[in-house]
Amino acid sequence: MEEIKKFEHYKFLADKGQNPLRVDKYLQNFVEFATRSKIQQAVEAGNVRVNGIVVKSNYKVKGNDVVTVVYDFPQIKNALLPQDIPLNIVYEDDAFLIVNKDAGMVVHPGFGNYDGTLVNALAFHFQNLPNMGDEDRPGLVHRIDKNTSGLLVIAKTERSMTILAKKFEDRDLNRKYIALVWGDVKEEEGTIRGNIGRSLKNRKIMNVFPDGEYGKHAVSHYKVLERFGYTTLLECKLETGRTHQIRAHFKHIGHTLFNDNEYGGDKVLKGTTFTKYKQFVHNCFKICDRQALHAKSLGFTHPATKKDVFFDSELAEDMQKLIEKWRKYATHQQL
């Protein structure tokens, strides 16, 4: 029986010095937005090959192996599926709209997430959004991570997209995040500088390279809002807009975001060894089951009216509950 033609979606050449690593874990390290379950589904469906041969999850990738992910359908532009997914629109006019994205929603399609994304919702609710040459990302001026909640601006015209994209590129805007990080941050306010580039060992995360020989220039400013002893609530303002900038920068200075599973924040990093405390932290993980990061506010000059506009949002409910739990804990410890 003739095999159905498969179309290559991803291709990786393992480094010469690659230590043997299960193919599912290998792909999880190298494909952005690829969850373990999605990868295992692809493997079980026979869509993962090494050196042209279909493999199982326990295959160990070795140096110079060629790992490919193939599907029955090609990667076609203009194949974006419009889906009737509700959007939390906090503002809209003829030039742009502001969306308050829930944590857990992927912004645009990627590995194993070809539907259910913000872009799929935009394609349903709006017609002829500009795309700046990328037809899979209509209206997108910028993005935030899947498990980060908060404000996103969506352009509705080519002119608005050009102007807004330039503002984001030049950081000609006022954009603030709220983050809960591990540890008692020493200074009341400060600045983190260090080039950010994709990790050479795990392509799903970013590393900080202080010497500047690799990665892109990145600057993050912060100030302390509240201290809870073993964690600190911060306001962050970005001078640059690199992928995972806040997550990578705070990991670099020893204050990983709370419950950030990709950067190691989903473990008890600070505090006591008491069982009761550990249970408290794990209960916090359940309340906010993602990195504690929210894109709270966004301000810029309106691309049409030239007037300054500012948009603010309440913290996502899970973060509100998490902060309140830590606040009560810290108050109890001080009694």
The residues that are catalytic are 145
312 Cβ contact list (under 8 Å, min separation 6): 296, 297
Which own/partner contact pairs does 170-173 have at CB distance under 8 Å and 24+ positions apart? 171/238, 171/239, 171/240, 171/241, 172/300, 172/301, 173/298, 173/299, 173/300
Q: Indicate the pairing of strand 149-155 with strand 174-182.
A: unpaired
Burial degree of 77 (CB within 10 A; 0-12, 13-18, 19+): exposed
Burial degree of 3 (CB within 10 A; 0-12, 13-18, 19+): exposed
What is the number of other CB atoms lying within 10 angstroms of the CB of residue 142?
A: 18
- Give the span between the Cα atoms of 171 and 169, in whole angstroms: 6
> Radius of gyration over alpha carbons of the chain, in Å?
21
What is the number of other CB atoms lying within 10 angstroms of the CB of residue 260?
A: 27
Q: Is the Cβ–Cβ distance between 295 and 314 less than 8 Å?
A: no
SS (H, E, C) 41-103: HHHHCCCEEECCEECCCCCEECCCCEEEEEECCCCCCCCCCCCCCCCCEEEECCCEEEEEECC
